[in-house]
Amino acid sequence: MYDHVGVYIDESGDLGFSSRSSKHLVIAAVTTTEPRMLSRVVRRTRRKLGTKDGGLTELKFNGNRPLLRRSLLEGLAATDSWIVWGAVVKSNTPLRLKADKNELYRYLVRRVVSDLSRRTFAKEIQVLIDRRSTEPMARRLLENRVESDITSHHAGLFPPAVRVGHQDSANSEGLQVADHVAGAVFQGLERGDGSYLAIIADKVVHGEVYW
């Protein structure tokens, strides 16, 4: 059992249902006992390749060159992290979730968090979610539900202490890593290119297309 783990959650794909929207929506969670290692992965990638991409301050999977994507994922593969991801084919989305994009997002985050909690033995779990909503009440609702899901599905005899928060990914290197994981999964599902996910395959403890 670990004393403390950090969890970083980000998504890939959009929440729309138009003909121009993505076919899939992916949520990825990256967990580590040493969050500083994720920061080092991003900083090393930025030092090595960032200046050739316009001096990027935030590394995002979308818009980056394949070399940069692969470099960051290879760095992640060398850490002690583990990954859980979940995805949906949006055309199969139940009507009740299709009618409320925020509820669809919350549902997927909660499914991934529950899958992660069943596989993570820790005394304390700190979860950081990419901040996509500007509404404090919406963020707090998700935080409360995620905390409840972790304590309800925890591994081990005793529930962990849980802290959940939101942050802009530009200010979190851990979230930038999670963005690349979500992008790698999305690239495989949406584009049929599994080469990025193959780099981190050994780190994936669970991945599932829910519907």
Domain ranges of the chain: 2-209
Please determine, for residue 54, whether its predicted confidence score (pLDDT) is greater than 70: no
Instruction: Write phi, then psi, for 137 (nearest 5 degrees).
Output: -65, -40
* Rounded to 5°, angle at Cα 177 from 174 and 178: 90
pTM (predicted TM-score): 0.94
Residue 1 CA to residue 148 CA, distance in Å, equals 20
In the chain the beta strands, taken as DSSP E runs, fall at 2-12, 24-32, 82-89, 122-130, 161-167, 204-209
For the ranges 64-68, 97-101, 120-124, 135-139, the lowest mean pLDDT is seen at 135-139
* Element of type H or E holding 95: helix 95-98
Band of pLDDT at residue 56, cut at 50, 70 and 90: low
Confidence band of 99 (pLDDT split at 50, 70, 90): very high
DSSP 159: P
Query: Which residues make Cβ contacts (< 8 Å) with residue 181, sequence separation at least 6?
Result: 10, 28, 30, 73, 76, 83, 85, 200
Task: Select the CATH number that applies to the domain covering 2-209 from these four: 3.30.450.40, 3.40.33.10, 3.30.420.10, 3.30.9.10.
Answer: 3.30.420.10
Average pLDDT value for residue range 183-206: 98
Answer left, alpha or beta for residue 59, where phi above 0 means left and psi between -120 and 50 means alpha.
Answer: beta
Query: What is the residue-averaged pLDDT of the chain?
Result: 93
Decide if pLDDT at 52 tops 80.
Answer: no
Report angle CA 164, 200, 119 to the nearest 5 degrees.
45
Write out the H or E segment, with its range, that includes residue 148: helix 136-152
| Alpha-carbon span 209 to 211, nearest angstrom | 6
3-state SS assignment for residue 51 = helix
